[in-house]
Amino acid sequence: MDLYFFDLDKTLYAYDFRHRLPALALASGVSQYRLAKSWWAGGFEMRAEAGAWPTVDEYLDEFAAVTGGRRLTLEQWTDARARAMTRIPGSVDALRRASTLGTVSLLSNNPAPLAAALPVLAPDVVEILGPNILVSFMLGARKPAAELFSRAMEHYGARPENTFLADDSAANVAGARSVGITAHHFVADDTARATDALMAAVEGFAAR
């Protein structure tokens, strides 16, 4: 059976970090500048996405230690994340269509709290995916690394020639193609055009 991987941020949901940072600053008591410089520019989020802190508590503890702010609750982290996310209806429609054609799964570069918060952040996506949620911290690597894609396919017992990926990152698309996955570059410069192209890519893969 075919396997369809979908990215989350900027593919299924639009994502704008500028709406997330102020809420994190308010909850933690640390300036936006300090948060961005210490955690994100310091490379800690990328390390978390690769599995450095594989539980919610470990992530939130490290976030507080590195930024010097109050320890966030998962609810505070989720609230800030939600402010940055906007559903892309046509992309969710493509995910739903793919679920009728094969196995669908999330494949997202994100840390542990994202997986825990996903039912709140994107309940429509979770309803379609069921248990098929792969977040990079679970796999010990990040896209576009080849090992990430290999581990994700191994999780489902899938072969590259039967696997499809939709992702907004050109680097991630190239990484997937390097291991034989059919990958569609989702470019949301015009949402209707982008989601129409995504749906066409899903249908084209199914009909190959």
pLDDT at 23 over 90: yes
According to the model, what pLDDT value does residue 143 have? 98
Question: Does the pLDDT at position 13 exceed 90?
Answer: yes
Q: What is the pLDDT of residues 69-83, one digit of tens each?
A: 999 999 999 999 999
Quick check: 189 pLDDT over 90? Answer: no
Tokens of 204: 């084209």
Q: Pick from 129, 200, 142, 208: which is nearest to 172 by CA?
A: 142
Q: Which CATH superfamily is domain 3-15+87-206 in?
A: HAD superfamily/HAD-like (3.40.50.1000)
pLDDT of residue 92: 98
Residue pLDDT, tens place only, 32-73: 999 999 999 999 999 999 999 999 999 999 999 999 999 999
Q: How far apart are CA 143 and CA 124, in angstroms?
A: 24
Nearest to 67 by CA among 48, 94, 89, 91: 48
pLDDT in tens, 80-139: 999 999 999 999 999 999 999 999 999 999 999 999 999 999 999 999 999 999 999 999
Q: What is the pLDDT of residue 22?
A: 98
Q: Average of pLDDT values for 150-165?
A: 98
Q: How many CB atoms lie within 10 A of CB 131?
A: 6
pLDDT at residue number 75: 98
Is the separation of the CB atoms in 61 and 113 below 8 Å? no
pLDDT over 70, % of the chain = 100
Rounded to two decimals, the pTM is 0.97
Strands (E), the chain: 3-6, 13-15, 85-87, 103-108, 133-135, 163-167, 182-185
Domain definitions of the chain by residue range: 3-15+87-206, 17-83
Confidence of residue 193 (pLDDT cuts 50, 70, 90): very high
> What's the pLDDT band for 191 if we cut at 50, 70, 90?
confident
Residue 29 has pLDDT above 90, yes or no: yes
Mean pLDDT of 10-31: 98
